[in-house]
Every structure is written in structure tokens, then in C-alpha cells.
A and B are shown apart, each in its own frame.
Chain A
Amino acid sequence: MDAERRVSPPVAREATLEIEGDVMRLAGAWTVDAAAGVEHWLGGRPRTRLERALGGPDGKERRAGPAEVSIDGSELVALDTAGAWLLQRMVGTLANAGRRPVLTGFRAEHTALLQMVSAPAMRAALPAPAAAPGLLARIGRLAWERIGQGSELLAFIGEVGIAAARSAVRPARIRWRPILYNIRTAGFDALPITGLLIFLMGIVISYQGATQLKRYGANIFVADLVGLSMLRELAPLLTAIIVAGRSGSAYAAQIGTMKVTEEIDALRTVGIPPLDQLVLPKLAALAIALPLLTVYADALGVAGGMVMARGELGVGFSEFADRLQRALYLSDFLVGIGKAPVFAAIISVIGCFQGFQVAGDAESVGHRTTVSVVQSIFLVIVADAIFSVVFLRLGI
């Protein structure tokens, strides 16, 4: 037997695999750290690598000598399941190549571990990876999901409608406490941020308009510009977007978490319909709070415009207010306020719906919360566009 020695190159820490003729010697600690080194040495084609090391060129022209390969484990210091599995894999590779591996010198506990990982249950353990779906299948699946979501949303809107009608018929069932609580959290608590943002928006509109108006000496029309854009469009829209981000997301996260912790199921079992307890109060509260917030936003937006108009255009507060009175009709104010309840319904229904769509885990809560904000802002803007077209047709 030619005593050609091949030692696996630097194997992590102290694990070594020494191959000498038909004898493989394992030494050191074959543990989860060391297994990486041996695995890298074996590389992607362990059969070739082992065969070459054992003396047969790629297994094609095997020597006439004994097919038996003895694997000596007497120098093993430690063996864990990762090491045992790697060894088991090598044994399997050799067996497939027509060799007959024989284990010698293993300690009793190492033998037990090897037996454990070579149990039939373990070998069958690795399930075949599922094939990745093709592009067409992915598009189809996505479309199907969207259609399903759409019909579920419709069903949810229907359920909420029925629950609302039931409450309207029997007002005694209305839960006032959560309604008031939600008015506070979604409305009152949103006053500072909404006020600040809309005030800044008023300043920006006024400033942008100022450079244009100055050129024509039409300084006083800044009141028309700020008043109309604020009352008709910006105040309702901006308020709705802020509330969607603040409260719509909170609704989705709250209901979603309650679903994960089975609190929704608990509500059902004690005879409280989750829609009555969780959705209707939010819907009612937002339908009250959002128009009020919009009025507040109207006032602060115009105030922002006034401040800028005086600074940049020399239009005093009283002149501005005087012009505003003549530029605006009651309908402009009502058009803005009238949109708010619709936006409120969109935000609360989408937020709650996405909350109920949460399935199982924490990641799902995060995903649904994001979706709720994106969808409700999207739908609010779409609804606003529809309003604009309708009002134009009606000449309001």
C-alpha cells in the first residue's frame, strides 16, 4: 500500500481528517465550529474529493484493492450532532461510491450519537425544497390575492354597515365611553401636530403666491388664494392624512395585536361582537373628530397665510380678513367640512379591516399596519379627486 498521506488543509480549530491509504483518521473536536472547516475542505463535490484522497481517480478507475475504508475515531476528543452528521454524510458518500466504510475505535458515546443521526427518521428528515413559482404563477397568485382582499373588504364594509344600522335602531347599545375616548385620542391629542403642520402650510402657500401676485400688484388676492385653497382642499386633505398616519395605523396595530393574542376571540365568546366594541366606536369617534379637526385646521391654515401676507406683501390682518369675507362663500367652507366624514369613514374602516386581516405573528401586525396607512392615504386622495370632479359638475 503506497503510504501517500493527505491531510485536510487547515480545518477550523482542532478538528482534522487524515487520510492514509484506505484509512481515514478523525482527530480533535468535531463540533459545530470545526464542522465548517471540514465541510469547506470537502467542497461542493465531496465524492470526488474523498475518492481522490483515497486513491481512486474520480472513482472511475478504482483500484482492485479492498473496497473497505476504515474510519478510525479513536483520536476524537469531542463529537456533537453537527460533526456526527457531517461524518454520517461522508459515510453515505463513500457508500454511494461503492466503498464499504467501517467505523473503528469510536468511543461508546460517539457511537451512540452516530447511530442517532443515522437513524432512518433522520435521513428522511430533509424535506425537498419547494420549487419557486414562475413569473406567471406569481402574477396570478398576486392578482388572486388582491381580488380576495377586495371582496373581503367589501364584506367587511357590509358587516360594519349592518352593525351600525343595528346600533342606530337601538341606541341603548351604543358604547359611549370608547367613543369619547377615541375622540380624545384621535381628535384632541392630534391638535398640536395638525395645527403646526397646517399653519406652516398656510405660510408656504402665501409665500409661494406672494412672488406671483406681487408682479401684478395683486397683493390683496393672497386672501382669495389662501382662503380658497385651505378651506376647500388643503385643510381637509392634510388633516385626513395626518389622522390616517396617527390613528389609522394605531387601529390596525391594536386590533391586529388583539387578534394575535386571541382577545378578539375572547370578546366573541363573552358575547360582545368585536365590531360593536372595536370598530363602531372608532368610526363614530372619527366621524365626529375629523370635521372638528378640519375646522381647526381651516382657522390655523388661514392664520399662517395671514402672517406671511403681512410680512411679505404688506397686507394687514384687517385688510386680509376683510377681503376673505368677500372672497369666500359658505359653500366653500361646507365643501371642505363635508369631505371630512367621508375621509373619517375611509380611515377607520381601512385601519380596522387591516387589523382584522392580521394572521398569527408579529411581522404580520407590522405589515398590516403599513398597508393600512398606505391604503387609507391612497383612498383619501382618490376620494378627494372624485369630490373635485363632482363639485365641478354641480358647480359648487
Chain B
Amino acid sequence: MGEPGRAGEPIIAVRELRTRFGDAVVHDGVSLDVCEGEIFALAGASGCGKSTLLRELILLHRPDSGSIRVFGRDVSGLGDEQALALRRNWGVLFERGALFGSLTVSENVGLPLREHTRLGDRLIDEIAAVKIALTGLPASAGSKYPSELSGGMRKRAALARAIALDPKLLFLDEPTAGLDPLSAAGFDELVRQLKELLGLTIFMVTHDLDLLWRVADRVAFMVGGRIVGIGTMQELSTSEEPLVREYFYGPRGRGAQEQAWKRR
């Protein structure tokens, strides 16, 4: 079994991926690489197949053909144990948080630790508290239930659970969807900080232009099940591809770009 993140090989390598739901073609030959230590964003309009690709990467859905390699391992046809070993090396933040409603925030964060390590209860509680503090939540949030938190706090708590096992790779599904602009901006910062601090590689699915401009190192742009542009935001913004131009030079695209420039 290869050590995660062997040098030279991309952390995620997708080749010629094809997926269809009945007659609807979701992915029509998708290929992309995510390198170690980068924040990679997958952008595109709603319903273009972004979230399905994410689900395929995290072993929740099987593509029809093509290959997906994560940490240098082909993810198709993995046994339960091998899949578990792979899953332990990544954390996932779901769009709506997906915190377990019957557990407190602290128990939610401690759950992966309790399940997969032999750490003592007290140490697990302490580590959970550290993660909760890391994501910028007040200490009092730990003993609360998810239903008692606001949307932004719930996202942060879900992020704390995603990094509970100190994963090498973090998947974020629409991390800023449903947050107010201020919380969203705070979340941008948080993602950057965590990446620096924990040495994460981040793969995120988003259509938040601010997030793309300010956080993502590289962006792949997906339209109708194909990648039509891939590169840094600077490169994409000078792309000749009409679909990409339309996306980035719409009224909101411009605004986000200007904002990003001002901040620099």
C-alpha cells in the first residue's frame, strides 16, 4: 500500500471519466489532476456534474468508465478495508454540514477519533475542543446540539469534524453556500489558514466567485460534463473559451474580480 502523497504523483488523478444517469450524460470524458498542497476548485453552473464528480472521488458513487486515482490508488473496485484506509486520509465537508443531530458538536467532532483510534475519552474531548477552536467556534459551542447553532456555525462545526483525523486531503462541497457575505469571507480565510497550518490539499466544489478568486490556487471549469478550462483564475480570466468568458465576465464575475484585486 503506497504511502499517501508520494512525491511526483498528483494526489487526485481523474482520467477520461464518464458517468450517465439513465439517458442523461453527466460526465463526458473528464480528466484532471490535483497536486499536493494546492487548493483546487471545481467551478461551473448548477447541474453541470460538479457534485457528482465529488461523490465519485469520495467513493459514494461509481462512474461508468474512466479511472480515478486518489493518493496514487485506483478507487474503483476497492475492498471495504482498503476503502476505509483511503477514507481515513481524507475529510469531507458536506454542503449542508450533515452533522449528526443526536450528538453534540463535540461528540460529532470526536466521533471519527473514537471510531478509528485508541485514544482515551478525555484526550478525544480535548482534541475535539482544539479542532472546534481551530475553526473559530467559541468553546461553548462544543456542548451544543447542531440544531441550536446558526448556519455559519454549523458549517464550521462540520469542518471541525472533517479535520478530526488530521486528513491530508479535504473535500469541500459548496463551503460558502447559504452563508451571509461576512461569514463567507470568514470561511475563505479559515480555509486558507487551515491549509497552511495543517498542510492540507483541498478539493472544493463551488460556484462562489469570491471564493474562487481569493482562495483557489487552480480552478477547473466544468460545463455540461466536460472540463472547458483549467488553470489559475488569472489564466482562466484571459481564456478565449466563450463559456468561460460568459461565466467570469458576467456582472457578478466582474464584481468579484475587482474585489479580489482590491484586496491584494
Question: Which residues of A are interface residues toward B (Cβ below 8 A)?
Answer: 12, 31-33, 35-36, 39-40, 80-82, 85-86, 89, 109, 112-113, 116-117, 119, 121-122, 124-127, 130, 359-364
User: Judging by beta carbons under 8 Å apart, are B197 and A82 in contact?
Assistant: no
Determine, out of B40-48, B52-60, B116-124, the stretch whose residues face the partner at the interface: B116-124
Contact indicator A126/B139 (Cβ below 8 Å): yes
- In the bound assembly, the distance between CA atoms of A81 and B129 in angstroms comes to 11
**Could you tell me the distance between the alpha carbons of A360 and B146 in the complex, rounded to whole angstroms?**
9
Least Cβ–Cβ distance between A119 and chain B, in angstroms? 8
Main secondary structure of the interface of A (DSSP, over half): helix
Given contacts A80-B166, A361-B102, contact A125 B139 (CB under 8 A): yes
Whether B130 contacts A125 by the Cβ 8 Å rule is: yes
Is the pair B197, A126 in contact by a Cβ cutoff of 8 Å?
no
Highest count of chain B CB atoms <10 Å: which of A36, A82, A86, A359? A82
Which of A36, A117, A121, A130 sits near B117, CB closer than 8 Å? A36
Distance, CA A35 to CA B117, complexed state (A)? 9
A362 touches B101 (CB 8 A): yes
A361-B129 contact in complex given A36-B119, A81-B134, C-beta closer than 8 Å: no
B147 at the interface (CB under 8 A from A): yes
Residues of A within 8 A of B113 (CB): 32, 82
Which residue, of B126, B147, B199, has the highest number of chain A Cβ atoms within 10 A? B126
Q: Which residues of the other chain, B, contact A124 by a CB distance below 8 angstroms?
A: 139
Q: A81-B127, A362-B102 are in contact. List 7 more A-B contacts (CB 8 A).
A: A32-B165, A36-B118, A81-B130, A85-B126, A122-B133, A363-B102, A364-B101
Given A36-B117, A40-B118, are A121 and B133 neighbors across the interface (CB < 8 Å)?
A: yes
A96 to B46, CA, bound (A): 56
Residues of A within 8 A of B134 (CB): 81, 116, 122
Q: Which residues of B lie under 8 Å from residue A12 when comparing CB positions?
A: 118
Residue of A nearest to B129 (CB): A125
Smallest distance from the beta carbon of B16 to chain A beta carbons, Å? Answer: 34
A109 (CB) vs chain B CBs: closest residue: B199
Closest CB pairs A-B (n = 5): A361-B101, A360-B147, A80-B166, A125-B129, A363-B102
From residue 131 to 148 of chain B, which have CB atoms closer than 8 A to chain A? 131-134, 139-140, 142-143, 145-147
Alpha-carbon distance A107/B141, docked complex (angstroms): 33
Residue of A nearest to B133 (CB): A125
Q: Which residues of B contact A112 (CB under 8 A)?
A: 197
Residues of B within 8 A of A33 (CB): 117
Contacts of B198 in A (CB 8 A): 80-81, 113
Q: How many angstroms between the C-alpha atoms of A80 and B130 in the bound complex?
A: 12
Residue of A31, A33, A127, A359 with highest tally of chain B CB at under 10 A:
A127
In the complex, the answer to whether B130 meets A361 with C-beta atoms within 8 Å is no
B125 an interface residue at 8 Å Cβ cutoff?
yes
- A85 and B130 in contact (CB under 8 A), knowing A80-B198, A361-B145? yes
**Complex contacts, B142 vs chain A, CB 8 Å:** 125-127
Residues of B contacting A122 with CB < 8 Å? 129-130, 133-134
Residue of chain A at shortest CB distance from B137: A125
Distance in angstroms between the alpha carbons of A130 and B142 in the assembled complex = 12
CA distance A363 to B145 in the complex (A): 12
Identify the interface centre among B101, B130, B140: most chain A CB within 10 Å of its CB.
B130
Query: What is the interface size of chain B, counting residues whose CB is below 8 A from a CB of the partner?
Result: 30
CA distance A359 to B147 in the complex (A): 9
Chain A residues in 8 Å Cβ range of B119: 32, 35-36, 39, 82
Residues of A within 8 Å of B133, CB to CB, are 119, 121-122, 125
The residue from A86, A109, A127, A363 contacting B123, defined by CB atoms under 8 A apart:
A86
Task: Decide: B147 and A39 in contact? CB cutoff 8 A.
Answer: no
Mind listing 14 A-B residue pairs with CB under 8 Å? A32-B117, A32-B166, A40-B120, A80-B198, A81-B130, A81-B198, A82-B113, A82-B166, A85-B130, A125-B130, A130-B143, A360-B147, A361-B101, A361-B146
Residues in A with CB closer than 8 Å to B102 are 361-363
**B131–A81 contact, CB under 8 A?**
yes
Q: Which of A36, A89, A127, A364 contacts B140 (CB 8 A)?
A: A127
Q: How far is the CA of A362 from the CA of B101 in the complex (A)?
A: 7
List residues of chain B with CB within 8 A of the CB of A125: 126, 129-130, 132-133, 139, 142
In the complex, what residue of chain B is closest to A121 when comparing beta carbons? B133
Contacting residues, chain A, for B118 (C-beta < 8 A) = 12, 36, 40
B residues in contact with A81, CB < 8 Å: 127, 130-131, 134, 163, 166, 198
Knowing A86-B123, A362-B102, A363-B101 are in contact, say whether A127-B199 is a contact too (CB < 8 A): no
Q: How far is the CB of B132 from chain A (nearest CB, A)?
A: 7
In the bound complex, how far is the Cα of B138 from the Cα of A121, in angstroms?
9
**Bound: A119/B133 CA distance, A:** 10
Task: Name the CB-closest residue of B to A37.
Answer: B118
Shortest CB-to-CB span from B4 to chain A, Å, is 11
Q: Residue on B with the closest CB to A80? A: B166
User: What is the CA–CA distance of A40 and B117 in the complex, to the nearest angstrom?
Assistant: 12
- When distances are taken between beta carbons in the complex, the residues of chain B under 8 Å from A85 are 123, 126-127, 130
Q: Which residue of B lies closest to A31 (CB)?
A: B166
Bound CA–CA A116/B197 (angstroms): 8
In the complex, how many angstroms separate the beta carbon of A3 from the nearest chain B beta carbon? 31
With A81-B166, A112-B197, A363-B102 known as contacts, the answer to whether A126 contacts B117 (CB < 8 A) is no
Shortest C-beta distance, B146 to chain A (Å), equals: 7
Mark interface residues in B198-222 (1 if CB within 8 Å of A CB, else 0). 1100000000000000000000000
A12–B147 alpha-carbon span in the complex (Å): 38
Q: How far is the CA of A327 from the CA of B49 in the complex (A)?
A: 72
**Cβ proximity bits B162-198 to A, threshold 8 Å, 1 near / 0 not:** 0101100000000000000000000000000000011
| Residues of A close to B131: CB separation below 8 A | 81
CB <8 Å contact, A39 and B130: no
Q: Report the minimum CB–CB distance from B190 to chain A (whole Å).
A: 13
A232 to B123, CA, bound (A): 64
B126–A126 touching, CB < 8 Å? yes
